[in-house]
Amino acid sequence: MSRIRIDANGRFDHRAALAVLAAHRTDGVERVDDHGISRLLTVGGDDHSVTAALDEGGVTVTVDTADTGVHAVLIARIRHWFDLDADLDAVAAVLAAEPVFAEHFEQRPGLRITRCADAFEATVETVLGQQVTLTAARLFDARLVAAYGTDGPAGLRRFPRPADLIALPTDHLRATLRTTRARARTVQEVAHFFLDREAGGPLPARAELGALYGIGPWTLDYLAIRAGSDVDVFPADDAVLRRMRLAHGIDEGAVERWRPVRSYAAVRLWAVAGQTRPTSTLKRHSS
């Protein structure tokens, strides 16, 4: 067992990050409390039990191995997970003077992007969360993990592997999750796509994901923010963002002014709206 300290580059609104973690947790796969999150992370094909404790200065990680090579990989992933390298002064220089953000920046100067810990999990869960409430999305996730996940170290559950989902008849997956056949098909297409990719690797390119059945612009934008590294994405078709723009008189010119940090503008608007998860307004394939 090893303990690693990872400092943030400046302020870190760890309470906001904890709220996002709690709202998005996958039951069985992640345990979230008032201090942090515990889950398995895969490095080099091996699962490691990781606990990340958050505070205003950064993250203290407890991991089940003394292997410094594993530590180096985990540090990079956790820095990305909690956006610890971001230069928030540069973000504030673009956004803080905007009326819709001014007070929020004063109250929450350390707000960062809280991302997903695993790109494959994030993609499957985003597909299952299209056009439904967060409560419904988490229910789909819980059914998926209960039916097809496996027990791992430290009492944690492994998210289903791509090969596990590919092997299922589509109608069996649909019936288990109690979702549409189209959504079950998209989950399996995602599993095929990730099958030969390294577990725990980065989010694939937008163009590659966009070629998959059932994945549209909102899903791509959401994944770019919550699982990728693009800090200049603004999901124009997101229901909450559309509502906030209308309420605050935000036109296209304002959104253009927010370049090159539009992802932070989106995260701020979701936070101002009291949301931890955006909502798609686009229709998906159905059957």
- Looking at residue 134, its pLDDT comes to 87
- Looking at residue 147, its pLDDT comes to 98
The token pair that represents 287 in the structure block? 């059957």
Using DSSP, state whether 68 is helix, strand or coil: helix
Query: Is-above-0.85 flag for pTM?
Result: yes
| 8-state DSSP, 280 | B
Question: Nearest 5°: CA angle at 153, between 55 and 179?
Answer: 85
Sheet holding 36-43, edge to edge: 2-7, 58-63, 46-55, 36-43, 30-32
Residue type, 118: D
Half-sphere exposure in the Cβ direction for 198 (13 Å, CA): 10
| 8-state DSSP, 212 | S
In whole angstroms, give the CA distance from residue 186 to residue 212.
7
pLDDT per residue of the chain (287 residues) written in tens, 0 to 9? 999 999 999 999 999 999 999 999 999 999 999 999 999 999 999 999 999 999 999 999 999 999 999 999 999 999 999 999 999 999 999 999 999 999 999 999 999 999 999 999 999 999 999 988 889 999 999 999 999 999 999 999 999 999 999 999 999 999 999 999 999 999 999 999 999 999 999 999 999 999 999 999 999 999 999 999 999 999 998 989 999 999 999 999 999 999 999 999 999 999 998 854 444 443 333 22
- Looking at residue 281, its pLDDT comes to 42
Length, in residues, of the chain: 287
Ramachandran angles phi, psi of 5, nearest 5°: -100, 130
- Looking at residue 90, its pLDDT comes to 98
- Ordered by where they begin, the domains of the chain are 2-85 (3.30.310.20), 86-287 (1.10.340.30)
- Looking at residue 131, its pLDDT comes to 86
Q: What are the residue ranges of helices labelled H in 41-180?
A: 68-81, 88-95, 99-107, 119-128, 134-148, 162-166, 170-177
